[in-house]
Structure 1
Amino acid sequence: MNNNKNVSELPPSAVDVLVVGNGPVGATIAALLGRYGVTTLVLDKLHEIVLMPRAIALDNEALRILQLAGLSEDAFEKIVIPEVKMHSPVLGQFGRANTEGCIHGHPKLVTFYQPDLERAMRGQVSRLKSVTSLGGFELESLVEEAECVVATVRDQDGHSHSVRAQYLIGADGASSRVRTLIGQEFEGQTYAEDWLIVDARNRHQSAIDHIEFICDPRRPTPHMPAPGGRERWEFMLQPGESREELESPESIARLIAPWINPQELEIERKAVYRFHARCCNRFSKGRTFLVGDAAHITPPFVGQGLVAGLRDGANLAWKLAWVLRGHAAPAILDTYDVERRPHAQAMINLAKLMGRLVMPKNRIAAFFIHGLMRMLALTPATRRYFEQLDIKPKNTFKHGLFVQHRRGDKLVRGSLFPQAWIRTLQKQIKLSDDALGDNLTLVGFGVDPLSLLTTDQIVSWEKMGGHFLEVRPRGQRSGGSCDFIEDMNHDILPLAAKGTLVAVRPDRIIMHHAPGAEASRLLRDCRGLLMGDDATPDNVSITINEPIKLRA
C-alpha cells in the first residue's frame, strides 16, 4: 500500500531518494521524481492528511509546477482572484494589484483548500510504481557516508529502521528535523505580533470575490475567499490581548460582525500564529537538501509560502533524477542552492515590504505610507509597477545551470520557457508543457532539430536525457521526423528567429539557445553544463525517454 495508509508496512532498506515530509511540497517532489523514474520513499509522522486549511494562495508558476507533476486542471477546486485591494480607514482604497487573466496558460492568482490539493497530489503519487509513501515514521538521525545517506527512522511502535538513500530531501516544515540534524542555521526575524486566523464555511452566496487588505493600524485584517464556500480573515492581536481572549466565540463574532451576522457564523478553523521571515544560509549539505518551509519561511502577505516550496521541488527533482540516471554529473546539484536561494530571499523581502504596508505602526505612519502609495498610483509608470505585479521578483536566475543571458534576447536564459496552447500531430489541443514531457528538450523554432544534427550528436543528446520537438505556426505541417506541434495563438514563435534552437530543461528553464547554424556549439555547451568539461557522456547508456510506470 502507498499514500500513507495506517498499515504496518516496513520501509525499504535502500532507495535512490528519501523524502522526509509528505505535505504538499514533499508529495509534489515525490510525484516529479516518480515521473522521472526515480526510486523514492516518502515518510511522514502522520498517516492522514490534516483536514484543516493552511496555505491558501497559488500563482501561475505554482499551477504550472503542479501541471508538471501530473495534476490536471480540475484535480482540485480553485477560485480565480481578479484583484487584490488595499484599504485605509482614512484614505480609502490606496493600492490595487490586477490579478485578472493568465500567464503561461494558468491564472495569475487563485485561492484553494489545502487538503484538496494534498489529496489530489497523493493520488497522483499512488499511481507511480517507483514511489512508496508511508506514514507513522519519524526521523531520528542521519549519517552521510561516501556514497549514501543512512537515515534512522522510528515507527509508531517505537522500533527503529535504517534506510540507505543516495540522496535525502527534508520537506518536513518549519520545525524541520532534517535541518537540525545537518546543522543549518535559520536566519531572519520573527514578527512580534500574533495573528488570529479564522476560516468560516457556508459562505457560498456571501463571500467576496477578491482579496482585500484592511490596513488599519488598530487592527490590520487580510480577507479572502476560498473554495467550498469558505472565507478567511486574519486579525492582528493588539498589545495586551491574549490568545485565549481573542479565540473565544464572542470575540470572533465581534471581529467578523462587519461581514457576517453572528447568528450565521460557522467557524471551520481558528488558530493564532506568529509570522516569520527566515531563510537558511544554504539549502543543502552534502547529499541532503532542504525544501519549502524547512529551507525558508515567507510571511503571508504576498501568498508565496507554498509557491516557493513548489519552485524548490521543480528545480531539485529533475537534477537528482539526471544525476541518478547518469545523464549529468553530481556537480549540477550545487546549482539548486545557487538558483533557488536568491529568489526565495527576494520573495521574503517583498513579503516584508508588504507587511510594512499592511501593518503600519501607528496612524501617522499609516497616513504617510498609504498616502505615498496613493500618490504613486497617479502616474502610469508607478501604477503599472504595482498594479501589473511588476514589483514581484521575476523567477529569472542570475547564475546557475544555464548559459549566461545576452542582452536584447527575448528568450532569457535562466528564465521560464513560455507555455502556450498548441496542437499536436494527433490534432489534440493542449498546453505546450505537456508536449515537452519529462525530458531535456531541444526545441526548433520552425525547423526540425534533427535536420541540423549529425547521428553522433543526436545520440549524444539522447544520452543526456534529451528529446526533440519542432514548433511551427498554426496550419503549417512538418516534413521532419521529430515530434511536432503548432503554435495556435502565435505566442511562442515571435520570441526568437526562425531556425533558432532552444534547450529547455525539464523544469522549463531555458538552458541555452542559438541559431540553427550553431547547433554543434549549443550541444557542446549544454554537455559541458551537465557533464563537466572533461565528461564523456558517450559512456552513458541509460536514457529515461520511456513511459511513466504506473501501478496496475
Structure 2
Amino acid sequence: MTSTDPCPPSGPWDVIVVGGGPAGVSVATLLGQHGLRIAVIERHHEVYPLPRAVHLDDEVYRILYQLGIGEEFAAHTRPASGLRLVDGCHRELATFTRELMTASGVPQANMFDQPELERLLRDNLKRRPEVTLLGGHELLHLDTTDAASVTAHLRQPDGSLVDLRAPYVIACDGANSTVRSQLGIGSVDLGFEQRWLVVDIRCRLEFDAWEGVHQVCDAHRAGTYMRIRDDRYRWEFQLLEGESATDYANIPALRQLIGPWVRNVPDDRLILLKCAEYTFRARVAQRWRDGRVFLAGDAAHVTPPFIGQGLCAGLRDAQNLAWKLASVMHGRDDPEFLDSYEAERRPHATTMIKRAKVMGQLMTGGGRIATLARRRLVPTLARSRAVQRLLLDSRTPALKAGPRVLRRTPGTVRGALLPLVRLPGPDGDLVLVDQVLGDRATVVALPGVDLAAVPDALPAAWLTVNPQGSEGERYLARWLRDARVGWVRVDPDRVIAAAGPAGVAQ
C-alpha cells in the first residue's frame, strides 16, 4: 500500500528500502514475495514524470516476470531491430540486425518509457500487503550504532519527524545517494565524463528511418536515435564546448540536430516532451555494504548509456540481494552469506560499465583521423561474426565465483544463468521455466541422474528434463550435455551455483 499519513505504520519492519525508483520498488516487491515486511521511503509522492532509461534486455525482462509484471509490460514495450552505425553525414557504415523475438518469446532488446514501467511496478506493489510505500517522506539520517538494527530518521509530508527501525536497510536513492554520503562511501572513477543532450519527442507521423537504434559515429557531434514506442522517439547528442540544453529549448532550434530524421515532418507535429542535459559518468561505489546497510542501483554504480544497461544493473542488484536477505532472515543461511552480494554484483556491474565506456569511445572518440578510420574499417569489421555477437548478443558475463558459487562447478556454467526456455506447466500450457522453478533453489537434471551424485546440502526440489520432450526440454537437455554436466543447482535468481556429472548408475 501507499501511505502519506503523518504517522506511518510503526512496523515491525524486516527491511527498510530508501528510494522508490525501479531498483527500490523491485527489491521491495521481491522481499515481499518472501513474506518479509518492507517499508519503502520515497521523497516524491508520484512517479518522476520525465523519461530517463529506455532499454532493457531479455535477462532483465526475465526479472519483470519474476516481479509479476512480465505480461503487462509486453503492452508497453517495443522490440528493437538492432544497431545501425552511421557517420557524421548519416551515411551507413554498418547495420547489425537481430531477431525481434527469441525462442522463449522474450525479445533480446526492449524499448520502453520509464514512467510507464515505474507505474506498472508501483501498481504491482499495491498487491503486496507486506510492503508499505511511504510517499513524500524524506530520509534525514541513518543511525547504525545499534548492532542489531538500523534506525531511519524521517521527515513526513506535514513536516513532523518519525523514526523507523529494521534489521537491514537497502539504499536505492540514486547517483547522489544520501545514504552513501552519510556512510562516507566514496566512488571509484572509471574515467569517463561527457555532457550530452537528451531529447524526447512525440510524433504520430511515421519517420522515414530504419527501425533500430542509430549511432552517429562522429568525433565532432556523436549522437544516438531510437524509436521507443509507436509515437515516441529519443535522441541523444554530445554537447559541444559552450553549449547547454537552453540552446535547444524548442523544435526549431532542435532541427539542426534531429533534421536528418524529421526533415519531412512539420514543426507542429513534433511535440517536445523533454530536452535536458546529462553528464554521463562511469563510477562504482568503493563498497556496497556497511554493516546492515546495502547499496543498490545508481547508489552503487553509474554508467554511460551506450549499451543500455543502467536500469538493468539496478534490477540485477535487486534480484541478487532480495533472495539472499530473505534466506538469511528466514534462517536458511548465515549473515555472512550476504557478503556474496557485493562479491558477485560489483565485478559484474564494473565489467558492464567498462563495456559501455569502450563502446562509447569506439563509436565517438578520437578526432578526424579516428573518424576516417571508422569509415574505412567498420564495414569490414561488421562482417565478422565475433563483432556481430559482441554487438547483438544480449547475454551478460557469468558472475564471478563468489561465496555461494562453488568453485568445483565446471567453468562452462559457473555463475551463468539457466537458459530461459518454455516448459509444460501444470495445466499443459507452455510457460517460462522460471514459473516452473518458483522462488526456491532447484536441481535441474537429465533423466537417470543418481541421487547419490548430488551433495546432500543441495535442495530437495528437483526438475528432470526430458530429452525427447518439448522444445524447451530438448534445449535444456542439449545445454546440459554440451556443458558436460548431468545436473545443475539453480538458485532463486536463476544463477547456477553448483553442477556435477550425471553419475548414472549402471
Matches of residues 226-305 of structure 1 in structure 2 within 5 Å?
Answer: 226-260=228-262, 261=265, 262-305=267-310
1:132 matched to 2:137? The reply is no
Q: Which of these residues, 407, 410, 428, is aligned with residue 404 of structure 1?
A: 407
Paired residue type of 2:495: I
Partner Cα separation in structure 2 for residue 386 and residue 419 of structure 1: 20
CA deviations on 1:362-417 (whole Å, 9 max, x unpaired) are: 22222124533333334x35444444448x7523324341112555x65x021111
Paired residue type of 1:416: L
Partner Cα separation in structure 2 for residue 30 and residue 232 of structure 1: 30
Matches of residues 68-467 of structure 1 in structure 2 within 5 Å?
Answer: 68-75=66-73, 76-89=75-88, 92-100=91-99, 101-102=101-102, 105-144=105-144, 145-188=146-189, 193-203=194-204, 205-206=206-207, 208-260=210-262, 261=265, 262-378=267-383, 380-389=384-393, 393-404=396-407, 406-407=409-410, 410=412, 412-447=413-448, 467=461
C-alpha distance 31-358 of structure 1, shift in aligned 2 (>3 A): same
**SS of the counterpart of 1:354?**
helix
C-alpha distance 263-29 of structure 1, shift in aligned 2 (>3 A): same
Checking the alignment, whether the CA contact within 8 Å between 1:91 and 1:370 is kept in structure 2 is: no
Matches of residues 511-522 of structure 1 in structure 2 within 5 Å?
Answer: 511-515=497-501, 517=503
Checking the alignment, whether the CA contact within 8 Å between 1:473 and 1:488 is kept in structure 2 is: no
TM-score, length-scaled by structure 2: 0.90
1:516 positional shift: 5.5
1:310 positional shift: 0.8
Partner Cα separation in structure 2 for residue 443 and residue 185 of structure 1: 41
1:507 matched to 2:505? The reply is no
Residue identity over aligned pairs, in percent, reads 35
Checking the alignment, whether the CA contact within 8 Å between 2:251 and 2:272 is kept in structure 1 is: no
1:495 matched to 2:479? The reply is yes
C-alpha distance 13-34 of structure 1, shift in aligned 2 (>3 A): closer
Partner Cα separation in structure 2 for residue 214 and residue 15 of structure 1: 49
Checking the alignment, whether the CA contact within 8 Å between 1:441 and 1:468 is kept in structure 2 is: yes
1:191 positional shift: 5.1
C-alpha distance 222-73 of structure 1, shift in aligned 2 (>3 A): same
Paired residue type of 1:176: S
1:321 positional shift: 0.3
Paired residue type of 1:247: A
Q: Identify the residue that residue 16 of structure 2 maps to in structure 1.
A: 18
Q: Identify the residue that residue 472 of structure 1 maps to in structure 2.
A: 466
C-alpha distance 397-105 of structure 1, shift in aligned 2 (>3 A): farther
Partner Cα separation in structure 2 for residue 187 and residue 97 of structure 1: 33
Which stretches in structure 1 are left out of the alignment for 5+ residues? 476-485, 520-552
Partner Cα separation in structure 2 for residue 103 and residue 151 of structure 1: 46
1:199 positional shift: 0.6
1:47 matched to 2:33? The reply is no
Checking the alignment, whether the CA contact within 8 Å between 2:448 and 2:504 is kept in structure 1 is: no
| Mean CA deviation greater in 319-328 or 219-228 | 219-228
Paired residue type of 1:69: L
Checking the alignment, whether the CA contact within 8 Å between 1:208 and 1:225 is kept in structure 2 is: no
1:35 matched to 2:40? The reply is no
Checking the alignment, whether the CA contact within 8 Å between 2:47 and 2:118 is kept in structure 1 is: yes
Which stretches in structure 2 are left out of the alignment for 5+ residues? none
| Mean CA deviation greater in 82-91 or 322-331 | 82-91
Partner Cα separation in structure 1 for residue 244 and residue 274 of structure 2: 18
Paired residue type of 1:432: V
C-alpha distance 218-423 of structure 1, shift in aligned 2 (>3 A): same
Q: Over aligned residue pairs, what C-alpha RMSD do you find? A: 2.7
Paired residue type of 1:291: A
Checking the alignment, whether the CA contact within 8 Å between 2:14 and 2:38 is kept in structure 1 is: yes
Partner Cα separation in structure 1 for residue 87 and residue 377 of structure 2: 12
1:170 positional shift: 0.5
TM-score, length-scaled by structure 1: 0.83
For these two proteins, the number of residue pairs brought into alignment is 496
1:189 positional shift: 5.6
1:303 positional shift: 0.4
